[in-house]
Chains A and B, each alone.
Chain A
């Protein structure tokens, strides 16, 4: 009897969790269905089914709209952004974690303070600064303001701190230079942290929308996020094509996420606690 009740409880739990999963995943499945449907209406009562199915919309989007160009822009911006963050954060966190120098604590607290600063005030001033630097409408203008994340510095500092001192001493006795020590000994040891930061920044740059929208003036430089909205304005009547573009923008990120879930969840928790 008790066992039956336990089974029933589990069943109810699964049903509830399943219903919730439907709530969060259904809109995206609808998007996929719309993108795959090759002809007929998108709206209407009752809602049309996702067939006849095919990849026609994807082919059409790829051939007729500047989606490949937007994708290339997104890849460029994301690649530069992730690369800059990994390198610069790894370089900045190292002395903070493992060296003694005058003013170290000051630097540390100033960095800590930035986490509390209202970043939106910076939007306007960054635009003014970039205009002065003549970087408006350039990829560099998109990437530079977020090329270093303070969150990343803290995350990697934590990682450096957990490396035992003996390892560092041993490398020094073997005659490693400061740079060699950092590159050959330290970096491989903080690889998990670098992975978490890399994935985090990947999503942030891939999806970034507001700043590229402000900085970029010519549509041929738009990343997917901005370009998709721009196209949806131009092709408002063709929902299926825009839906196909939206799927193309979302699939890579979901794929990366499903393979790296663990790092992801850890990244958020660290980010929230900082």
Chain B
């Protein structure tokens, strides 16, 4: 047990504590290489955030990105309900929905960059269907880029959350739905008033995981847009990466990370407040 605990202590516990401390220091590459002592600056980094244009841009983009969560969760629940039945070949369908989850984000990002090309297949399909009049630059248009990236998150995440909800559905006894059916409730009514409330514990778990992932979105952005066009996909985590590992200003990056951690805690608390009640005791 000891080796595992030592590794966890060094790479999991210590970083969180020291990371918070680091945010109070001026600490850059010269400090790291021992050429300059770390200098205590107190809350200076956090004060600097207030006038940091990039911070506010990143914050706004990140919060907008969280909008993917309700859409993704709702779609996943519907998908889970659809595949929660005994049907010949259902495991193959589930597998097909799950494959994007296990595909590398680099592959997915490159792939969707190609699909989104001006003369790519998505534009062709939409032109043929008459949805758009001329080819759209999905990742190059400042008004669309963030949504185009969010769509990829949706595509890649569906299968993952489907499995969580599927497990939730299979734990729910069918008696409740049968009782509602005997009472003459319609399909939508059963879904809305019986299935959804019973699923609440799963929704809490999935929604929290999904919110945290959305707040920390990085790889999609890094592979597909690099933060552009004109900073429209420049997210918090992208900014932390930029400050920390391209400008090597570790102190300031740590301050940004602390702010993001606070954001994660706040939104997780919101998730708990909204979805805590429910499950069997709800009835």
Contact = CB atoms under 8 A, between A and B. Distances in A.
Given A21-B96, A246-B111, A120 B163 contact: no
Contact of B107 (A21, A110, A124, A246): A246
A129 B124 contact: no
A224 B120 CA distance: 25
B106 A91 contact: no
B245 interface: yes
Given A17-B82, A88-B7, A144-B7, A239 B114 contact: yes
Given A129-B11, A148-B7, A229-B223, A124 B1 contact: no
Given A88-B3, A269-B167, A228 B91 contact: no
Contacts of A265: 94, 98, 163, 166
Given A89-B4, A120-B240, A129-B11, A253 B102 contact: yes
B100 to A, nearest CB: 6
A151 to B, nearest CB: 12
A89 B1 CA distance: 8
A124 B254 contact: yes
Interface in B147-171: 155, 158-160, 163-164, 166-167
Contacts of A17: 82-83, 93
B264 interface: yes
A102 interface: no
Contact of B4 (A92, A119, A250): A92
User: What is the size category of the interface that chain A forms with chain B?
Assistant: 35 or more
B119 interface: yes
A250 B103 CA distance: 6
Nearest to B209: A272
A121 B261 contact: yes
A62 interface: no
B4 A148 contact: yes
B164 A268 contact: yes
B95 interface: yes
Interface stretch (B14-22, B50-58, B60-68): B14-22
Given A20-B79, A257-B102, A27 B111 contact: yes
A268 B101 CA distance: 11
A228 B102 contact: no
B100 A24 contact: yes
B146 interface: no
Interface in A33-67: 34, 42-47
Contacts of B97: 20-21, 24
A257 B99 contact: yes
A85 B108 CA distance: 27
A118 B264 contact: yes
A198 B169 CA distance: 27
B219 A209 contact: yes
Contact of A24 (B4, B111, B155): B155
Contacts of A105: none
B216 A120 contact: yes
Interface in A190-243: 203, 206-207, 209-210, 214, 224-226, 228-229, 232, 239, 242-243
Contact of A91 (B1, B14, B95, B260): B1
B74 interface: no
B177 interface: no
A34 to B, nearest CB: 7
A73 interface: no
A125 interface: yes
Given A124-B250, A253-B103, A107 B5 contact: yes
* Top 9 closest pairs, chain A to chain B, by CB: A122-B15, A92-B4, A125-B15, A118-B261, A121-B19, A21-B96, A145-B11, A207-B104, A269-B167
29 contacts: A13-B82, A16-B82, A17-B82, A20-B96, A24-B97, A24-B159, A42-B114, A43-B119, A88-B7, A91-B4, A92-B5, A96-B1, A121-B257, A121-B261, A125-B18, A128-B18, A128-B32, A128-B250, A144-B7, A148-B4, A207-B103, A224-B104, A228-B110, A229-B110, A257-B98, A257-B102, A265-B163, A268-B164, A272-B206
